[in-house]
Structure 1
Amino acid sequence: MFFSSDTRVLVQGITNALGSVYTPLMLSYGTSVLAGVASGDGGQDVASIPVFDMVEQALAAVGEVDASVIFVEPYDVLDASLEAIAAGIRQLILVTEGVPPLDMVRLLRKAEATDTLVVGPNCPGVIVPGQVLLGTHPAEFYAPGSVGVISRSSTLTYEVALQLTKAGIGQSIVVGIGSDRIMGSTFQQWLQILDEDDRTEAIVLVGEIGGDSEEVAARYIAEAIDKPVIAYLAGRSAPKGQVMGHAGAIIASQLGDWGDDIGTMESKLASFKAAEIPVGDRPSDLPKLVKRALKSAKNRTNDDE
């Protein structure tokens, strides 16, 4: 797993509205926030965390950093991310919403070339319950356990985690991959990570209408994932035929011979059904589906033995 209580963290944009609010919350959760960066605000501190003008200055003062949580304004995200990568930071959490698409294209090219994990943008980040909080997750909704959650949503992620926690089902990690037009890490990447993670016994995937992320994920699960996966899809009550603006998804559907209904609830449900992935009608359905999946997986293991 990439993140743990030992993860050394930098916050870029620490003095802006979000950074100044969520840095103390991350710190109080036990996250090892070593320094912050905010151009022009060097020499200040936020919740006793020293602030520097540049990433290079921060690392010279505090040493090696594993991950950076980025709260800067949308048009500054590319520069902040490239600065972090140049300093050797290989895990970036982009909380900021509305990053220009071409900036994300440039960033992802650099990330691929440097083997950098990018989570987001427009995401609540990552939480490993009981160990580390990187982003804006409300920590009180989570509990340590063995179910990994991957989500495109933000607030819906919190609701799903709360339903699991109330049912006595803890989480190994919860990741909001983001919902901007162009994202960093994908459902497939995190499915592979969690499939290989010893602490994770089952995976909950939280998707929504629009785009083809869920259809692609369903195919990948059927082909490559061994652990049980349960899904919830938001948007069932959206008006049928409403244009969501996902032109790229429509083109991808034609190239992939998936039909022109890609991105609709019907398309996504059909994809999960074909992959034999149970889908909850509402978040409150997920705990029983998870328990059922874990029981089935345990029975299969016993039969194999």
Structure 2
Amino acid sequence: MAIFLNSDSKIVVQGMTGSEGMKHTQRMLDSGSAIVGGVNPKKAGQEVEFDGGVTVPVFGTVAEAMEKTGANVSVVFVPPKFAKDAVIEAVDAGMPLLVVITEGIAVRDTAEFFNYAKDKGTTRIIGPNCPGIISPGQSNAGITPANVSGPGKLGLVSKSGTLTYQMMYELRDIGFTTGLGIGGDPVIGTTHIDALEAFEKDPDTIGIVMIGEIGGDAEERAAAYIQENITKPVVGYVAGFTAPEGKTMGHAGAIVTGSSGTASAKKEALEAAGVKVGKTPSETANLMREIVKSLG
């Protein structure tokens, strides 16, 4: 089992024929993902050859790609100024899962396409500005290196791309059902809470690692949700303990105002909800390792 992405997932790549799209489509193919098409109106009807003897057709629209291939996932590598149109096109086509890798999308654009998708009610958006989602041994939709970890028993949801990779590597001895990088922009599609809910329902996930960072109140809201709804053990890590107040750090959403959004405040909220919080990624991994041992 896994959440949102599994061995039945058929992926199309919007922006596949660009340099980033080509590079990461090859990596997704190498990790065993079923890439069934690319989307580029200017190159419709062409085919792209990838290493390993794989030929991927290019379609003019997402709707055509879905009709011809049965695709149920799209990964977006479209440049920021065209990203909103690409997302709306996929939503209009009824794409069930849309992974938006593109960074630098205007917050207004993200808010517009997220609300558009919410109103339609058929598409789950992951991102933007995220590494995507990987269910090791099954499928990889995004830019997460597939060799950092293998299949196992843990779920991971993270605001940070690099910390997603690090945590999966730190806990590679246990492995993951799914690792999900949700992105750190002020407006995102899938949230910590969405992932927590899905991992709680997944029978093969025995523990959940949650990585947050300074800014906003997503981690505090997740803590409240955990207290009320999650029965599985959760360990957490909050990036940004040394960040100065009032300064944007890394992600656009990582800005602290007053006492709101600080790493300490998030750590306190999570610990009050019964979440063990590590001071470093390695300490967080060890906390989860101890929990898994105790579960037998």
**TM-score after normalising by structure 2:** 0.91
Q: Aligned-pair distance for 1:247?
A: 10
- 2:254 & 2:147 partners in 1: Cα distance? 38
Would you say 1:210 and 2:215 are equivalent positions? yes
Q: Which residue pairs with 2:225 in the alignment?
A: 220
What is the SS of the residue equivalent to 1:81? helix
Select which of 69, 94, 104 maps to 1:98: 104
Q: Aligned-pair distance for 1:17?
A: 1.9
What is the SS of the residue equivalent to 2:247? coil
Select which of 53, 57, 79 maps to 1:73: 79
Q: Which residue pairs with 1:9 in the alignment?
A: 11
Select which of 5, 19, 22 maps to 1:20: 22
Between Structure 1 and Structure 2, how many residues are aligned? 285
Please report the RMSD computed on the Cα atoms of aligned residues, expressed in angstroms. Answer: 1.9
Q: Which residue pairs with 2:265 in the alignment?
A: 267
**Aligned positions of 1:1-305 closer than 5 A:** 1-46=3-48, 47=50, 48-62=55-69, 64-113=70-119, 114-165=121-172, 168-239=173-244, 241-244=245-248, 260-296=258-294, 298=295
8 Å contact 1:235–1:265 — kept in the other structure? yes
- 1:126 & 1:247 partners in 2: Cα distance? 21
What is the SS of the residue equivalent to 1:137? coil
**TM-score after normalising by structure 1:** 0.88
1:247-298: CA deviations, max 9, x gaps? 9986xxxxxxxxx5111112111111211211111111133211222344x3
- 2:235 & 2:254 partners in 1: Cα distance? 28
Percent of paired sites with the same residue: 39
**Bigger shift: 219-228 or 127-136?**
219-228
What is the SS of the residue equivalent to 2:171? helix
Counterpart residue identity of residue 11, structure 2: V
8 Å contact 2:91–2:122 — kept in the other structure? no
Distance 1:263-1:156 versus aligned 2 partners, 3 A rule: same
- 2:106 & 2:286 partners in 1: Cα distance? 40
- 1:150 & 1:60 partners in 2: Cα distance? 31
**Which structure has the larger Rg over C-alpha atoms?**
1
8 Å contact 2:255–2:261 — kept in the other structure? no
Counterpart residue identity of residue 266, structure 1: S
- 1:247 & 1:150 partners in 2: Cα distance? 17
8 Å contact 1:99–1:180 — kept in the other structure? no
Distance 1:98-1:14 versus aligned 2 partners, 3 A rule: same
What is the SS of the residue equivalent to 1:158? helix
Distance 1:146-1:183 versus aligned 2 partners, 3 A rule: same
Counterpart residue identity of residue 270, structure 1: E
1:112-150: CA deviations, max 9, x gaps? 232311000000000000110000001110111010000
- 2:292 & 2:72 partners in 1: Cα distance? 33
What is the SS of the residue equivalent to 2:102? coil
